[in-house]
Amino acid sequence: MKINILTLFPEMFSGFKSESIIGKALEKNLLEINIVNIREFCYDKHKQADDMPFGGGAGMVMKPEPLFRALETVKGKVIYTTPQGVRFNQKLAIELAQEEEITIIAGHYEGIDERVVESKVDLEVSIGDFVLTGGELPAMMMADCIARLVPGVIKKESYENDSFFNGLLDYPHYTRPAEYEGMKVPEVLLSGHHKNIETWRLKESLKRTYLRRRDLLVGRELSKEEKKLLAEIKRELGK
Ligand SMILES: NC(=O)c1ccc(NC2CCCC2)nc1
């Protein structure tokens, strides 16, 4: 899979591309992340990428020509990160991870000229109801979430229990030491009894989802075991 990201600030992506899981995945050529510097497509003497808004008002708007030129050099579904977009979520990440190539435009200032959106953008996407100085961090977040779904980037087992992957929030995690400052790891996790551990984890996922994100349970098919565990949880909570 190839993810192109168009930006005026390519340096913002150097750590993202060199560190941790994404860094290793790029080294192993499991995926490609291609950062396109929009400035390189500003052919005028002053390399002007933005200009004043028609109709007046504060701020600057990113000019259409450099964006159209930059888009000529990439392929795939074109996404623009903006508060006006559809909400990004794991379901959309899974859909986008099926694509051979996608291109994300990271805007800046007041945004990009609407003619780019109308004629070139396939999907406007928001990561939440808040405004950022640029679309780079949303682009990085989306690329991270999509990249970890690319085969080989992380072990399959670890994302199968991810929050939202099975429609539930993730269960609690513990590692050594077994006791720290008087706080003990739940006994079942030290028992080596895999079935009991699996049941405990499912129950904890259900409990967290029921308490923190009950909306995720609405319309979700519950297995026989999940129904039994949820009934236990409600009894234990006295609800
Ligand atoms: N909530 C979001 O996903 C989001 C995306 C982009 C952005 N700012 C960008 C948008 C165009 C110029 C700055 N702010 C917020």
Question: Which positions are annotated as active-site residues?
Answer: 83, 110, 148, 162
pTM passes above 0.90: yes
Query: Who has greater pLDDT, 84 or 159?
Result: 84
Mean per-residue pLDDT, 175-188: 98
DSSP tag of 103: E
Residues 6+ apart with CB under 8 A from 85: 123, 124, 125, 126
Asked if residue 67 lies in contact with residue 45, where contact means CB atoms within 8 angstroms, the answer is no
Stretch (H or E) spanning 196: helix 194-212
Alpha-carbon distance 71 to 121, whole Å?
10
One-letter amino acid for residue 174 of the chain = Y
For residue 128, the CA-to-ligand 1 centroid distance in Å is 9
Check pLDDT > 90 for residue 173.
yes
Check pLDDT > 90 for residue 155.
no
For residue 213, the CA-to-ligand 1 centroid distance in Å is 26
Residue nearest to atom 11 of ligand 1 (CA): 111
**Percent of the chain beyond pLDDT 70?**
96
Pairing of strands 32-37, 2-7: parallel
Q: Which has the minimum average pLDDT: 90-104, 163-177, 189-203, 215-229?
A: 163-177
ipTM: 0.99
Query: Each residue of 192-216: pLDDT tens digit?
Result: 999 999 999 999 999 999 999 999 9
Residue 162, pLDDT score: 66
Ligand 1 pocket mutation, candidates 61, 82, 117, criterion most atoms within 8 A of CB: 82
How many Cβ atoms sit within 10 Å of the Cβ of residue 236? 10
Beta bridge partners of 4: 34, 103
| Average per-residue pLDDT for the chain | 96
Q: Six-digit token pair at 87?
A: 């909400």
How many Cβ atoms sit within 10 Å of the Cβ of residue 139? 27
Work out which ligand 1 atom sits closest to the CA atom of 85: 3
Ligand 1 pocket mutation, candidates 61, 110, 126, criterion most atoms within 8 A of CB: 126
Provide the terminal-to-terminal Cα distance of the chain, rounded to the nearest Å: 47
Instruction: At 236, give phi and psi (nearest 5°).
Output: -65, -30
Q: How far is CA 1 from the centre of its chain?
A: 15
